[in-house]
Chain A
Amino acid sequence: MQTAIFIQDLSKSYGKEKHRATALKNVSLEIGQGELFGLIGPDGAGKTSLFRILATLLTPSSGKATVEGFDVVKDYREIRRRVGYMPGRFSLYCDLSVEENLEFFATVSGATVRENYDLIADIYRQIEPFKKRRAGKLSGGMKQKLALCCALVRRPAVLLLDEPTTGVDAVSRREFWDILKNLKDEGMCIFVSTPYMDEASLCDRIALIQGGEVLSTNTPANLVASYPFTLYKTRAENNYLLLEQLRTQSNVRFCYISGESLRVVFHEGAERVIRYPSSEAEEVTPSIEDCFIQLMKKR
């Protein structure tokens, strides 16, 4: 697999001396062509900074990054020609219609809608009934599809999508991931960020990011397999009381709430019992979120 995005020891900090804020700390990633790669982390983890550097909108403080072999600092013109970038906030013209937005973004990148229509056809067909509507009047899901079309219409080699599914409802989110899968199958490198842990399993590989540092880079399956403990789940009528009980039990290494049940990890060799009426421990496969918590604790 050929490398599409290469990032080595990349750091970025803002401000001066006293008010220095570090957004990225020694980030290294390698993403191949035809790969759907997810950058997963909460708000403020540094996702947007990384995307802006790759899109050549920000210069890194130190380290190196290349896209399609071009340096993000020196060859920014080359990169801008080859990259489709969809920023976190939908950067559409709300006062232009769907059609007009698409035409405009095609024109600025020196392409025409007609010559690249095959690439966006599947997506555009879904919003075509509203093509005369102002972009500002579209629903979140439609805006997101239009923004994707605008990023795609130049036929980029690499697609950078910064939190495309934030604030979009569950149904639209699923449709959006289906679209990404199709694009990937056509050989495009897609680098996408998201705060939703449940979207991780839809990526080929993921990097978990927190506080500007990459906690782990792996395939979703390998990440789950590398979870160091045997994880149990349990529940009760009142989970809060159960949680308080578990925290007093000496055989419990740690426990936390997870949805409508609790996650429990016992000490090695300790008895795996829960002393609470009608609650039992049941072994469970860790989720990406469980892995994330574990990696955060390790720091």
Chain B
Amino acid sequence: MKVIEVHNLCKYFGRFGAVRNLSFEVVKGEIFGFLGANGAGKTTAMRMLCGLLTPTSGKGRVAGFDVYRESEKIKRSIGYMSQKFSLYEDLTTAENLELFGGIYGMGRKEIKAKMAGVIEGLELEAGKALLVGSLPEGVKQKVAFAVSTFHSPEIVFLDEPTAGVDPIARRKFWEMIYEAANRGVTSFVTTHYMDEAEYCNRVSILVDGEVRALASPRELKQKFGASSMQEVFFALAQKAKRGVS
């Protein structure tokens, strides 16, 4: 089942083509990597998919809803976790969960019922009354993921989710994503860290607003005769006209 379908999607700011002819499909439960250098058009593309920005032309459906006309419905069906983890640090874990549950229209009972399970999954029983600001970085990041998936979205958008965290926390985090994927939650990961890309099922590489490669990391490495995604990216991005100096 396709949860994201994009066909020839374009976004122009004046005459500047931030994203040009974007076409791809993401299926349910897939971990899809969306890679690109700074300024390659990642953010613009992701904003269109999240319903924050109206495309200039092309077709796009996210969670079955049209990106032009049904952005409100799209927003209800997705979760979003930004690179800054974007939690309220002066609220506790439970309060953060309650807040976002409320924002996404979950009932009081539903929130309560789900909360216990999530807190247990995070191994945070002891720390649920602590302000998020006092938690270690690695834990914050897991809480952020739990918050962004609390309303059971079909797709969760993750922006550089594991930049700068220690290797063990990073692994635990990817395990959470894998586990979610196994339950059918689709992850759309935007990043410019190539080692994050290695964890994705399939990756697309965006250069100058266009997709230049789309395959599994393994296939891409084979195709470019590279030992890491870093090298694949290097081979593609070197020809870029913008975003790279």
Interface string of A266-299 (1 = CB under 8 A from B): 0000000000000000000000010011001100
Q: A240-B182, A241-B182, A257-B178 are in contact. Are A42 and B237 (CB under 8 A)?
A: no
Q: Pick from A139, A197, A260, A293 the residue with the most CB of B within 10 Å.
A: A260
Contact indicator A42/B164 (Cβ below 8 Å) = yes
Contact indicator B238/A171 (Cβ below 8 Å) = yes
Residue B217 contacts which of A41, A127, A239, A260 (CB distance < 8 angstroms)? A260
B contact residues around A145 at 8 Å (CB): 245
| A238-274 contacts to B (CB < 8 Å) | 238-241, 243, 256-260
Residue B237 contacts which of A140, A169, A297 (CB distance < 8 angstroms)? A169
B contact residues around A195 at 8 Å (CB): 163-164
A101 contacts B by Cβ under 8 Å? no
A contact residues around B168 at 8 Å (CB): 293, 296-297
Contact indicator B199/A257 (Cβ below 8 Å) = yes
B38 contacts A by Cβ under 8 Å? yes
A220 contacts B by Cβ under 8 Å? no
Question: What is the minimal beta-carbon distance from B181 to any residue of chain A, in angstroms?
Answer: 7
Residue B167 contacts which of A138, A139, A167, A293 (CB distance < 8 angstroms)? A293
Contact indicator B244/A141 (Cβ below 8 Å) = yes
Contact indicator A169/B174 (Cβ below 8 Å) = no
Question: What is the minimal beta-carbon distance from B122 to any residue of chain A, in angstroms?
Answer: 18
Contact indicator B245/A42 (Cβ below 8 Å) = no
Taking CB as reference atom, which chain A residue is nearest B171? Answer: A256
Contact indicator B165/A141 (Cβ below 8 Å) = no
Instruction: State in angstroms the CA–CA spacing of A141 and B216 once bound together.
Output: 28
Interface string of B203-245 (1 = CB under 8 A from A): 0000000000000111000000000101001100110100111
Contact indicator A257/B175 (Cβ below 8 Å) = yes
Instruction: State in angstroms the CA–CA spacing of A172 and B38 once bound together.
Output: 11
A contact residues around B193 at 8 Å (CB): 196
Contact indicator A172/B175 (Cβ below 8 Å) = no
Interface size on B, residues (CB 8 A): 39
Contact indicator B244/A169 (Cβ below 8 Å) = yes
Question: What is the minimal beta-carbon distance from B197 to any residue of chain A, in angstroms?
Answer: 9
Instruction: State in angstroms the CA–CA spacing of A260 and B31 once bound together.
Output: 11
Contact indicator B167/A292 (Cβ below 8 Å) = yes
Contact indicator A174/B137 (Cβ below 8 Å) = no
B contact residues around A75 at 8 Å (CB): none
Contact indicator A139/B39 (Cβ below 8 Å) = yes
Instruction: State in angstroms the CA–CA spacing of A23 and B237 once bound together.
Output: 38
B contact residues around A172 at 8 Å (CB): 244-245
Question: What is the minimal beta-carbon distance from B143 to any residue of chain A, in angstroms?
Answer: 16
A92 contacts B by Cβ under 8 Å? no
Contact indicator B174/A257 (Cβ below 8 Å) = yes
Instruction: State in angstroms the CA–CA spacing of A126 and B200 once bound together.
Output: 34
B192 contacts A by Cβ under 8 Å? yes
Interface string of B1-44 (1 = CB under 8 A from A): 00000000000000000000000000000000000011100000
Q: A259-B217, A296-B167 are in contact. Are A43 and B182 (CB under 8 A)?
A: no
A86 contacts B by Cβ under 8 Å? no
Contact indicator B216/A140 (Cβ below 8 Å) = no
Q: A140-B38, A171-B37, A260-B217 are in contact. Are A166 and B164 (CB under 8 A)?
A: yes
Taking CB as reference atom, which chain B residue is nearest A127? Answer: B245
B-side residues, CB < 8 A to A, are: 37-39, 136-137, 163-169, 171, 174-175, 178-179, 181-182, 192-195, 198-200, 216-218, 228, 230, 233-234, 237-238, 240, 243-245
